[in-house]
Chain A
Amino acid sequence: MEAFFSYGFVQRALLAGIFVAIACALLGVFLILRRDAMIGHGLAHVAFAGVALGLFLNVIPLVAALIVAVLAALGIMKLKEKAGLYGDTAIAIFSSVGFASGLLLVTFAHSFNVDLFGYLFGEILAIETTEVLLSIGLAGVVVLIVILNYHKFMYMTFDRDSAKVSGIRVDRLDVLLTILTAITVVLGMKIVGLLLVAALMVIPAAAGLQLASSFKQAILLSSFVALISVFFGLLMAFYFDFPASGTIVILSFLIFGLFFAFKREKRLF
């Protein structure tokens, strides 16, 4: 275990992973309860277009992905509101168009290379110091904003109309939550990759929701599951040469399964 902690790349991966995992778990609880769990998946596909645009224009892909994902998140909100679309239709439209645009851009830029695959499948063990600092900074801001608005987010998730009547600016908080989700998706893509980032948002939160009897418990349990998954995922990647992203997601799924079974057991006996 000592060897594990002694490597710089492991320390960087742990630092970035812990911050991003907590941000993902916190937001995941709200997204699931708002029946908006698929937005992470949709925005990840759109972020692919951002990465491709970054590679095409030769600017930092993470920054390009951040801008594109935030704009897409706001676009999805507007499309839902104005076009009167059912359920996840707006997310499906944006994610498909985003991914298609990304494909076109990487083809034009001849960028089907190692960089691109890093974004698609995650490369947490190859994360650089500047990326760690960016991840810690942004994820820290996301966590702080969620903590500061925790009660308001909880109220509007539970009972939107009553929250409005309490004078809470629900529409503004919707925008805030959507922007935070977009930022977290982009941060998560460096950890588990674009294709699996939605899992990091949804599975730990879904696991936490299995056993929680209060909102506070749901938040704490979800964050705990995310942390455990990232830590042991990295540990297994280090010692057994497993792919870190896949291991993190499978571990979180196993914990979900465990919590689910425990909940059923509690009901039966």
Chain B
Amino acid sequence: MALSANDSKTLIAVKDISFSYGYAKVLKNVSLDVKSGDFLAVIGPNGSGKTTLIKIILGLLKPYEGEVWIMGRRVEEFLEWQKLGYIPQKATHIDSFFPVSVYEVVAMGLLSKKKFTRLTKKEEELSIQNALEQVGIEDFKNRRIGSLSGGQQQRVFIARAIVKQPHILFLDEPTTGVDAETQEHFYDMLDALNKKEGITIVLITHEIGIVNRHVNKVACLNQRLIYHGTHAEFCHSKAFKEMIAGGHHLISHRH
């Protein structure tokens, strides 16, 4: 079920979150929201708390202060996990000997959906086939995932995330260690998911250049939230100039 990109209701609200690993404070009083149809980039230097923030939003970590709301419910009470897709940072650093086929990985994505809707075997196969075709890896479905290239593996994880037709897709540095051309195709694919399918996307990235072409919102993080707003305003902001001065990787893009 695709959402309308014009529907601007708040899907995620992060309210005054603080978090620390032991004595090391990682996030300090961070608040932001994600609206339906957004393509939000969360950017910031290493150790700025980007991954921690996403993990808190997804309920994988508990903040010592503040709260997270997903689709109108506190994350602790949220049950509709089939509406969220997640591709973790280490997704493409999988053990190459792990005996799991592309088809099996994509089928994992349907597990949470099956709790809510009884899918027949045929419907399940059709959903998986559609997801594989959408990301262009249908020919690899019987291959062991470890035998694929980094770019192909990413597509498998995207297929796993979209097979359940999520409303929000979270990606944590999905193009680490992937060549520039594959990155370009990958972000085009995300663009299509956002604009054509109406999937809200939250993307953690180091590549500020990505921001220029694809996203409509930016959250700039360095333990505190330095900037949160539209991409157009971000390009003229102090935060952007500071990040460029800090030597962040910039990729050129066609406009």
- Expressed in whole angstroms, the Cα–Cα distance for A162 and B100 within the complex equals 15
Instruction: Answer yes or no: B186 CB below 8 A from chain A CBs.
Output: no
Residues B100 and A154 in contact, CB atoms below 8 Å apart: yes
Type the 1/0 row for B83-117, where 1 means its CB is closer than 8 Å to any CB of A. 01011100100100111110111011101100100
- Partner of B99 from the list A155, A159, A162, A209 (CB cut-off 8 Å) is A209
Instruction: Answer yes or no: A166 CB below 8 A from chain B CBs.
Output: yes
A162 contacts across to B, CB distance below 8 A? 86-88, 91, 108, 160
Given known A-B contacts A213-B143, A213-B144, A165 and B81 have beta carbons under 8 A apart: yes
Instruction: Answer yes or no: A214 CB below 8 A from chain B CBs.
Output: yes
Type the 1/0 row for A147-166, where 1 means its CB is closer than 8 Å to any CB of B. 00001101100110111111
Closest residue on chain B to residue A209 by CB atoms:
B99
Q: How far is the CB of B226 from chain A (nearest CB, A)?
A: 26
- Expressed in whole angstroms, the Cα–Cα distance for A16 and B103 within the complex equals 35
Residues A218 and B84 in contact, CB atoms below 8 Å apart: no
Interface size class for chain B?
20 to 34
Residues A215 and B86 in contact, CB atoms below 8 Å apart: no
Instruction: Answer yes or no: A78 CB below 8 A from chain B CBs.
Output: no
A165 contacts across to B, CB distance below 8 A? 58-60, 81, 84, 86, 170
Instruction: Answer yes or no: A264 CB below 8 A from chain B CBs.
Output: no
Instruction: Answer yes or no: A33 CB below 8 A from chain B CBs.
Output: yes
- Partner of A214 from the list B87, B88, B97, B100 (CB cut-off 8 Å) is B100
Instruction: Answer yes or no: B235 CB below 8 A from chain A CBs.
Output: no
Type the 1/0 row for A190-228, where 1 means its CB is closer than 8 Å to any CB of B. 000000000000000000010011111110000000000
- Expressed in whole angstroms, the Cα–Cα distance for A159 and B91 within the complex equals 8
- Expressed in whole angstroms, the Cα–Cα distance for A58 and B80 within the complex equals 52
Chain B interface, DSSP helix/strand/loop, else mixed: mixed
Residues A213 and B99 in contact, CB atoms below 8 Å apart: yes
Instruction: Answer yes or no: A138 CB below 8 A from chain B CBs.
Output: no
- Residues of A in contact (CB 8 Å), total 23
- Expressed in whole angstroms, the Cα–Cα distance for A120 and B159 within the complex equals 49
- Expressed in whole angstroms, the Cα–Cα distance for A266 and B55 within the complex equals 41
A159 contacts across to B, CB distance below 8 A? 88, 91, 94, 108
Residues A168 and B99 in contact, CB atoms below 8 Å apart: no
- Expressed in whole angstroms, the Cα–Cα distance for A159 and B104 within the complex equals 12
Residues A214 and B112 in contact, CB atoms below 8 Å apart: no
Instruction: Answer yes or no: A167 CB below 8 A from chain B CBs.
Output: yes
Instruction: Answer yes or no: B79 CB below 8 A from chain A CBs.
Output: yes
- Partner of A158 from the list B79, B82, B84, B108 (CB cut-off 8 Å) is B108
Closest residue on chain B to residue A29 by CB atoms:
B99
B105 contacts across to A, CB distance below 8 A? 158
B86 contacts across to A, CB distance below 8 A? 161-162, 165
B84 contacts across to A, CB distance below 8 A? 165
Other A-B contacts than A163-B111, A164-B59, 8 sampled, CB-CB below 8 A, are: A154-B100, A158-B98, A158-B105, A162-B108, A167-B112, A213-B99, A217-B99, A218-B99
> What would 8 A/B residue contacts be, using CB atoms closer than 8 Å?
A151-B107, A151-B108, A152-B111, A159-B91, A161-B88, A166-B82, A213-B147, A214-B144
